[in-house]
Amino acid sequence: MKFESLLIHGGIDGDASTGAVNVPIYQTSTFKKSEFENTKDNVYEYSRTGNPTRAALEKLITELEEGYAGFAFASGMAATTAALSLFKTGDKILISNNVYGGTFRVLDKYFKNFGLNYSVFDSSNIEELKNNIDDSVKAIFIETPTNPLMGITDIEEVAKIAKENNIISIVDNTFMTPYLQKPITLGADIVIHSATKYLGGHSDLVAGLVVVNNNELAERIHFIQNSTGGVLSPFDSFLLIKGIKTLALRMDRQNSNTTVVAKFLRNRKEVEKVYYPGFVDHPGHEIQTKQAKGYGGIISFVLKEGYDYKKFLESLELITFGESLGGVESLICHPATMTHAAIPYEMRQAIGITDNLIRISVGIENVDDIIEDLIKSLEI
């Protein structure tokens, strides 16, 4: 089945017992045991351990990412936390230098308490990655493109280096989704999603997914999921399956709208710089073109020194000023005080998350309306 059809018919297609075209919401905490011993027809016991609506979603994301098994969590951060829980005291995780602020925070302020170390590297520089590897490094965690500066990392190269050194490679695929990029097919071991974003697509849920490429990791992640319990509810699993059905249509429109908005911003006198992997002169453009089917729906841009970015953000009307991304509506945010506030000031300055940096997630509205809103607010 082609990917677009898999989005609609993959996983568990409808409900065999009634013919319903949608997977039912199994809103139950527990299941009646029909026999004393567990059998293969008697797989569900308790909804933290497994739930049929969640299982349909987990099978679907596994097929979409071409992985071995998938797991659904109550948020992207719960998914990241589950993946990082594979490691122990004394281990070290290498992370890209501008990963999502929450990923940095959970390592810096939470896992550090348990002796799990991390070190930050520029993941667009493979030599720097090699130089950072020592015996304590057990995982490489990357995002590509990175949030918010759209840094590109060669997934195949990172996965190769990881394998050579017996290290697990983890890719946060939130920005691209499997419609545009499939890290497991490029050699990665684990894929993570904040499904809150493009996979859900409607800003109506918070969810996270982990997909692994082998049975050993599947057993370990399932153990962590069941033991720590941050599972996705049956209702949110249903909503996410529903959102995923239109992923290809939404992303096609977001990709094309974003190209128009990026070109528009680049030609404005108020704008200093535009970060968009679709530009041929964007660092890593060739790698992005090689490993993904598109450039996604996110643009970051720097407003010129002295320009009143607060007034600009507050005067937008169609574009929503708020956290998050990947919804059908255009969303704009101020990374330094919102998504990346957890990153220390000096580090933010060093990597380019300055106060006049703005990130926009382009929605599926008519692109003329998006441009009109930007013009009006830039000229205010």
Ligand X SMILES: Cc1ncc(COP(=O)(O)O)c(C=O)c1O
User: Annotated catalytic sites, by residue?
Assistant: 48, 100, 172, 197
**Inter-helix orientation angle 52-65/234-244, to 10°:** 30
Q: Please tell me whether residue 147 binds ligand X under the rule CB under 6 A.
A: yes
- For residues 71 and 222, the answer to whether their CB atoms sit within 8 Å is yes
* From 74-82, 126-134, 289-297, 370-378, span contacting ligand X (CB under 6 A): 74-82
Q: Which parts of the chain fold into alpha helices (H)?
A: 3-9, 52-65, 76-84, 101-105, 126-132, 155-164, 177-180, 215-228, 234-244, 247-266, 285-291, 309-315, 345-351, 367-378
Q: Please tell me whether residue 174 binds ligand X under the rule CB under 6 A.
A: yes
Peptide bond preceding 283 in cis form (omega within 30 of 0):
no
**Residue in 63, 65, 143, 236 binding ligand X, rule: CB under 6 A:** 143
Residue partners of 105: CB distance under 8 A and separation at least 6: 342
Paired sense of beta strands 168-172 and 190-194, if any: parallel
**Residue in 53, 75, 123, 144 binding ligand X, rule: CB under 6 A:** 75
Closer to ligand X by CB, 208 or 243: give it.
208
Closer to ligand X by CB, 65 or 143: give it.
143
Q: Please tell me whether residue 81 binds ligand X under the rule CB under 6 A.
A: no
Q: Please tell me whether residue 274 binds ligand X under the rule CB under 6 A.
A: no
Closer to ligand X by CB, 55 or 77: give it.
77
Query: For ligand X, how many residues bind (rule: CB under 6 A)?
Result: 14
| Bridge partners for 70 per DSSP | 211
One-letter amino acid for residue 196 of the chain = T
Closer to ligand X by CB, 174 or 254: give it.
174
Closer to ligand X by CB, 120 or 367: give it.
120
Q: Which residue is nearest to ligand X (CB)?
A: 76
Q: Please tell me whether residue 169 binds ligand X under the rule CB under 6 A.
A: no
Q: Please tell me whether residue 196 binds ligand X under the rule CB under 6 A.
A: yes
**Residue in 11, 52, 70, 76 binding ligand X, rule: CB under 6 A:** 76
Q: Please tell me whether residue 172 binds ligand X under the rule CB under 6 A.
A: yes
**Residue in 23, 60, 77, 302 binding ligand X, rule: CB under 6 A:** 77
Q: Please tell me whether residue 145 binds ligand X under the rule CB under 6 A.
A: no
Q: Please tell me whether residue 206 binds ligand X under the rule CB under 6 A.
A: yes
* From 8-16, 69-77, 121-129, 248-256, span contacting ligand X (CB under 6 A): 69-77
Chain positions 87 to 116 lying near ligand X, rule: CB under 6 A, are 100, 102
Burial of 18 (0-12, 13-18, 19+ CB in 10 A): exposed
Chain positions 314 to 353 lying near ligand X, rule: CB under 6 A, are 339
The tokens 């993959």 sit on which residue? 10
Q: Please tell me whether residue 58 binds ligand X under the rule CB under 6 A.
A: no
What is the rounded distance in angstroms from the CA atom of residue 169 to the CA atom of residue 184? 10
Q: Please tell me whether residue 168 binds ligand X under the rule CB under 6 A.
A: no
Residue 108 gets which letter from DSSP? I
Burial of 329 (0-12, 13-18, 19+ CB in 10 A): middle
Chain positions 213 to 252 lying near ligand X, rule: CB under 6 A, are none
In the complex, the smallest distance separating the C-beta of residue 104 from ligand X, rounded to whole angstroms, is 11
CA atoms within 13 A on the CB side of 207: 31
* From 71-79, 152-160, 178-186, 352-360, span contacting ligand X (CB under 6 A): 71-79
In the complex, the smallest distance separating the C-beta of residue 16 from ligand X, rounded to whole angstroms, is 31
Burial of 91 (0-12, 13-18, 19+ CB in 10 A): middle
One DSSP character per residue, 145-197 reads SPTTT-----HHHHHHHHHHTT-EEEEE-TTTHHHH--GGGGT-SEEEEETTT
Residue ranges in contact with ligand X by CB under 6 A: 75-77, 100, 102, 143, 147, 172, 174, 194, 196, 206, 208, 339
